[in-house]
Structure 1
């Protein structure tokens, strides 16, 4: 026969259990995403630039945060941006500097989780059409391939040209995408130079088809080109979307931070097993060699570096006439609030 002490302890334990369950239920209710179906626009999903997005999707991190995410792939970041501004997507996985350009046009968009801490963009010159290339000035009057006009590859090329005294109008920019089409455009001689990313760049450099004119795949090279930390791929959305959907934004950030942390620990075989076969462009060894060149560029925690927004603004001001005379509130172009919570949750 049980004594009174036993029953008293059992009732206390039961009360504590129910109190904990109630608190847990409340926390769950408070954290429920306001919008569970989210469309993310991206320009060139196969690129390492966007690898954290693919990892979050393939490992089910979005689903575990209560989200049904649809990722729509475009030829370049400028096209992905148009999708969000036009209302056919909620969030962009794209270059941070677009938030600055949008603010100059009176539109407030905000970055909320960083994917890359270096742009990974490489400007290469064709050995076929420009065998005598000596300096950036030689590109005057030439055709330069970019993922899409107005994209981050276009911006990087504009910046490198500006440092050499050339204006965007001194060259012809041609959209070539971020996959096999870009490689084909270079090999066929349709373009004289190209600003693109890995694995596309590694496919061309391995056979000595191009020479590198400017490289931003490592932190050191990035700082040499831009003069500071240059943020790159990120998730950004309109300020209105973030304000109206804070729990959804937090859920997206949580999934992305988990993906970033997974990438910090993953081995080459883990990555190859996780990404779609098409990402390898038919050459697994090349894909892994390219990953080795860019892995330092992946953000370890999703945090925007303190000098990042200013570096991006300085870059744009070198060639973007729309920014001249405009006051940009850089503090409105990003927030680390969601990332800080995600890092507290996922160590």
Structure 2
């Protein structure tokens, strides 16, 4: 979408000019183990595509004023792909990422400790769409061989899920072409110009493609039923994840941020798609408010009501990753899922912080 590009461009000077201090905050403060200055600290959170409906809670929390009400200064930045968002967290340029939980498992296999502190979604919210002109040729992942498949970027969660769907359906991931298609207008353009035959994306891109007849839905992981059918269980996806050392050293700050997110999750569960869409920036609708509202409606059941990790969800994620991931597969038996997420902060979120 146009807005994704503009926000990303706006974020660049912030990253370029201010992240030296950000690196110092997330690394040296963590080493010092003190949270005494938490009230004055800015928490930079990178969102893996801030205008995607799957990550809607991040911007909605800001729009509702919950970060300010919790007394924490949060700066939201955006990066269209989760793999890049993950990288800026590892480098210490931001303190948190709103992205897919599966990155915490993948990173543990690489020797890094990253944990989800608030689980925003219990299913991916991802959809495998097929260009209408190719719909007769691609009816399931069994047909992926020889095709051009779009993902946001290599190493992203859409890449992970696409590789899994291919593998369990008897297609080697090397038998199809992985195309970096991004999201929003870049993904739509890839469908339009034949750059991809099919691909994995989210709302509002899905709504834009299907409403115009450019693509058809093949696999729908916006619902629990669709996710279980595709992946064998719930697949906790959108989350707020942070470096374990930062979390341990900044518990007061993390608690405030989590309180704000939990309050938003309760607000979402108590309001309609129309009410939710009305709170979001007008630019997110890309000139079609009705379509944007529909995309929110189609996806909103994916969200948790309280920020709590769904039972057995992490196990599903590990099962998916170890089926194809060269990083996770050889270390699957040593992965400690208990270190990839924590319920410490969501369990302490004030009950009085219900939707208001």
CA deviation after TM superposition for structure 1 residue 101, in Å: 0.5
Task: Give runs of aligned pairs for residues 48-127 of structure 1, distance below 5 A.
Answer: 48-127=53-132
Task: Give runs of aligned pairs for residues 177-196 of structure 1, distance below 5 A.
Answer: 177-196=182-201
SS of 1:78 mapped into structure 2? helix
C-alpha change, 1:339 and 1:176, in structure 2 (3 Å) is same
Higher alpha-carbon Rg: 1
Which shifted more, 122-131 or 333-342? 122-131
- Contact kept in structure 1, 2:220 and 2:227, CA below 8 Å: yes
Task: Give runs of aligned pairs for residues 1-347 of structure 1, distance below 5 A.
Answer: 33=38, 36-129=41-134, 131-326=136-331, 327-347=334-354
CA deviation after TM superposition for structure 1 residue 267, in Å: 2.6
Aligned residues, how many?
A: 318
Which shifted more, 204-213 or 191-200? 204-213
Q: Structure 1 regions of 5+ residues with no counterpart?
A: 1-29
Alignment partners' CA distance in 2, 1:243 and 1:321: 30
C-alpha change, 1:282 and 1:240, in structure 2 (3 Å) is same
- Contact kept in structure 1, 2:150 and 2:180, CA below 8 Å: yes
Alignment partners' CA distance in 2, 1:151 and 1:132: 26
Which shifted more, 74-83 or 321-330? 321-330
Alignment partners' CA distance in 1, 2:252 and 2:208: 41
SS of 1:40 mapped into structure 2? strand
CA deviation after TM superposition for structure 1 residue 164, in Å: 1.1
Query: Pairwise CA RMSD of aligned residues?
Result: 1.7
SS of 1:72 mapped into structure 2? strand
CA deviation after TM superposition for structure 1 residue 40, in Å: 0.5
CA deviation after TM superposition for structure 1 residue 264, in Å: 1.2
CA deviation after TM superposition for structure 1 residue 258, in Å: 0.9
- The C-alpha deviation readout for 1:289-346, integer Å capped at 9, x for no partner, is 1222111101111000120110100010111021123110001111111001115342
TM-score (norm 1): 0.87
